[in-house]
Structure 1
Amino acid sequence: MTETTKNATSTGPTGTHQHGPRMEYAQAAPDVYKAMYALERAAIEGLDHTLVELVKIRASQLNHCAFCLDMHTKDARKAGESEDRIYLLSAWREATGYYTEKEQAALALTEAVTVITDGFVPDEVWDEAADAFDEKELAQLIAVIVAINAWNRFAVTTRAVPGTYQAR
């Protein structure tokens, strides 16, 4: 058992679950990591940076990915995103006036794709996104949503530790 594995599951003094990383995924599977990074770069090409960060934050909230939430809230702030919009993102439907119609369509699609185990992406969510984005943008947006969901799953599974990421 490696030191990382030994420390991966312990209980803290308050009885809450404490953990460290199970593995450094990029080191263990560098070719997969590079392919994921290539997907990420291709997916965001031509999309509004703010929209991309909002999508990444929302999917990470739904997937309970602390590492990605830390990363993408820092990236959003660095790009000039307001604290209010970041804080209200988990309740974006009720935060009337904070998000554009295009952002709302992207967030609805993000939620539908992220929780696809509920059955499907509803036609009304698809139609709203298809009205807000041209076909190329919509294809890019779907790729962003798929990519962040994959990153979330890598980070949650390997227990990537939040807090060390520095926005560039």
Structure 2
Amino acid sequence: MTNTEAVTRTARVDFAKAAPKAFKALIGFDAAARQGLDPSLVELVQIRSSQLNGCAYCLHMHTTDARKAGESEERLHMVAVWPEAAHFFTEKERAALALTEAVTLVSRGGVPDDVYARAADHFDEPELAGLLALIFTINTWNRIALSTAKVAGTDERSAR
């Protein structure tokens, strides 16, 4: 699909305009989830979930945000294959990425005890709850973007 084809898709609901209370509640939930978490880790989690969900809109947004926050191109390229490129990430980041995958792909067998325990070894309870909330929110944002056919590269956050 070319950029022109992507832009000329059938129009879908503008979720933010059609459901402003739900949209604002999700923004608040997202902001609360991030509190106390390292901003670089936040972006890595959002990137991995967006990759798994096939959400180009969110992937573009969060790789852009990660670059602006100083994340290296090298690490951004390695997120998709983080288990094989473990030396690019800290143990804490790897635990968060493993939890991200388990929660994002929860229908494939739940969240294994060892994955949860690994995350719990690196995050205290408030951080772990925040990390889980972050994973929940990015999965929700991915589903909104995919369901409403958001086009990668058309980040509208600055317009709101």
TM-score by length of structure 1 reads: 0.87
Q: Give the Å deviation of 1:22.
A: 1.4
From 53, 62, 74, the counterpart of 1:72: 62
Q: Give the Å deviation of 1:164.
A: 2.0
2:27 is matched with which residue? Answer: 37
User: For residues 137 and 20 of structure 1, what CA distance do their matches in structure 2 show?
Assistant: 41
SS of the residue corresponding to residue 51 of structure 1 reads helix
Identity of aligned residues (%): 54
From 141, 146, 150, the counterpart of 1:151: 141
Q: Which protein shows a greater Rg?
A: 1
On the 8 A contact 1:59/1:111 being kept in 2, the answer is yes
Q: Give the Å deviation of 1:24.
A: 1.4
- Structure 2: segments with no counterpart, 5+ residues: none
Measured on the aligned residues, the alpha-carbon RMSD in Å equals 2.0
User: For residues 62 and 109 of structure 1, what CA distance do their matches in structure 2 show?
Assistant: 13
TM-score by length of structure 2 reads: 0.91
Amino acid at match of 1:87: H
Pair 166,36 (structure 1): closer, same or farther in 2 beyond 3 Å: closer
Pair 45,120 (structure 1): closer, same or farther in 2 beyond 3 Å: same
Alignment deviations for residues 66-93 of structure 1 (CA, whole Å, 9 cap, x no partner) = 1100100000000000001111100000
Amino acid at match of 1:113: V
- Structure 1: segments with no counterpart, 5+ residues: 1-10
Pair 104,167 (structure 1): closer, same or farther in 2 beyond 3 Å: farther
SS of the residue corresponding to residue 97 of structure 1 reads helix
Q: Give the Å deviation of 1:119.
A: 2.0
On the 8 A contact 2:86/2:94 being kept in 1, the answer is no
Number of matched pairs? 155
Pair 93,20 (structure 1): closer, same or farther in 2 beyond 3 Å: farther
Pair 108,28 (structure 1): closer, same or farther in 2 beyond 3 Å: same
Higher fraction of helix: 2
